[in-house]
A and B are shown apart, each in its own frame.
Chain A
Amino acid sequence: MNPFAYSKPAAVNEALRLAGPNARFIAGGTNLLDLMKENVTRPERLIDINGLPLRGIDATASGGLRIGALVSNADLAWDARIEQRYPLLAQAILAGASPQLRNMASTGGNLLQRTRCYYFYDAGVPCNKREPGSGCPAKDGLNRIHAILGASDDCVAVNPSDMCVALAALEAVVIVAGPQGERRIDFADFHRLPGDTPERDNVLADDELILAVELPAEGFAAHSRYLKIRDRASYAFALVSVAAALELDGGIIRAARLALGGVAHKPWRRQEAEEVLIGKPASDETFALAADLLLEGARPLAHNGFKIELARRAVVRALGDAAHSIQHQGGRP
């Protein structure tokens, strides 16, 4: 780890004043310190935001919940309101990392997790995300864990978060503060596709700080399921994951949300895949239509072609589990 200066501001304004391209905010530090140990990230200053008043989970005027950026992943997953009203989010969080990491990792930090692409993590090889313009060894290398959707010639990395897949399906809103004040970012617009600027994972500026994530009132508590497919039974990143949520009326689908994890640079949603479900019976035949639409345009690399069929089947299964209210702790199959 490189030497760096450390400050612990007591107010958001003070934290923003210290921010800049060579500084990083630190909350739980679980991803940032790992990246610093690998020399992937070498900040000159760490701004410890744990002194800021961002630990609340509060009701919003519109009937939802506002989750402070510093709420730990464990505290969020085990909050009674989240468990009861947003079980999809609780399941997704518990499917990620380990209990130790979930005790440390923050809500805001989870949104900023960087990819686990082996080449990004290895400072000894080129990577367009780490060093723009240097090349992408993953494209023609070991790419079993890489993207099948939304990738570019410059980057085939995937977003590693489970929590973000559920937040995408729930249509959360990210609230950030910057020098010009606060702004609200729809979750679908927060993370970005790599294009020719894969060094940018999201739309946050260097001098902006995540204050909170807001959940809308609708949590799809009766019919939702986070299904995670991974190489081990626990404590592994998703090869493919699905956040599925339905509103049913006598077996007919009235509303649907569907997001995929482990397949793209951001949680993957497609309006057509959700719309095709509306007004149809909750059956495997219907779910297969949605799966095909969601996977439309999927392109395999040399070693990850299996993900396309895996994702298709996982979507059908997750929607079926959601329809039948089958719950599993931690997104386990």
Chain B
Amino acid sequence: MSATSLREGRSDPAAHSISLVLNGQPRQLDVLPWTTVLDLLREQLDLTGSKKGCDHGQCGACTVLLDGKRVNACLTLAVMLDGRDLTTIEGLANGDQLHPLQEAFVRHDAFQCGYCTPGQICSAVGLAREGRAQSRDEISELMSGNLCRCGAYNNILDAIEEALPATRGEGGA
């Protein structure tokens, strides 16, 4: 997939102009129809917090918040972002003040290699906003779209379980 051709400017006739709010800032971008949101973020906008794990919607490492709802950036086309609000892991903290879920992940050592962490945290923010998970089992079930190959699940669950009351319904995005 070629996502880099637009770095040079607006020369490609296949490009579409889109307007969106990205991490709180209004942005106008030119994107090719076959560019995914994940490639737009990582290759064109240098927002590399969202990770490419499987690129097929199976691992959750690319999870972002679209209009406040968690989605897989690898299975969303950038051209379909027009008029929408996108929050990535880079947009969760308020300056140096981490989002409560980020703080909880640090406090509970909820990672080993860290590659799945941005997706886990964005997914947990979406989970909190949905307001459906009450028990630890429900958190586990509703976080099943985020894999951790290091197996840090116990600490991830600890972090989310602790932070949920502070973030429920607010979503942080």
Contacts and interface: CB of A to CB of B under 8 A. Distances in A.
Contact of A34 (B66, B75, B80, B140): B75
Given A1-B1, A50-B80, A100 B145 contact: yes
Nearest to B59: A98
A286 interface: no
A104 B71 contact: yes
A99 B56 contact: no
Contacts of B144: 98-99, 233-235
A103 B70 contact: yes
Interface of B: 1, 14, 16, 32-34, 36, 55-57, 60, 63, 66, 69-72, 75-77, 79-80, 82, 123, 126-127, 130, 132, 138, 140-146
Interface stretch (A2-10, A159-167, A266-274): A2-10
A34 B59 CA distance: 13
Given A5-B33, A30-B57, A100-B57, A330 B141 contact: yes
A103 B69 contact: yes
A98 B75 contact: no
A46 to B, nearest CB: 7
A12 interface: no
Contacts of B57: 30, 34, 98, 100-101
Which 8 pairs between the two chains have the least Cβ-Cβ distance? A98-B145, A6-B33, A234-B144, A235-B144, A103-B69, A1-B34, A100-B145, A100-B72
A47 to B, nearest CB: 11
Contacts of B16: 6
Q: Which of B34, B36, B56, B140 has the most CB of A within 10 A?
A: B34
B145 A33 contact: no
Contact of A46 (B33, B63, B132, B142): B33
A304 interface: no
A233 B57 CA distance: 18
Q: Which of B70, B72, B75 has the most CB of A within 10 A?
A: B75
20 contacts: A1-B1, A1-B34, A2-B34, A8-B82, A29-B77, A30-B72, A34-B56, A34-B57, A37-B1, A37-B56, A98-B57, A98-B144, A98-B146, A99-B142, A99-B145, A100-B57, A100-B70, A104-B75, A234-B141, A329-B138
B114 to A, nearest CB: 20
B76 A104 contact: yes
A72 to B, nearest CB: 8
Given A30-B57, A37-B55, A234-B144, A100 B123 contact: yes
B31 to A, nearest CB: 10
A33 B54 CA distance: 13
B72 A99 contact: no
A41 B92 CA distance: 36
A37 B33 CA distance: 13
A118 interface: no
A78 interface: yes
A6 B63 contact: no
A48 interface: yes
Contacts of A1: 1, 34
Given A2-B34, A6-B79, A234-B144, A104 B72 contact: yes
Interface string A82-106: 0000000000000001111101100
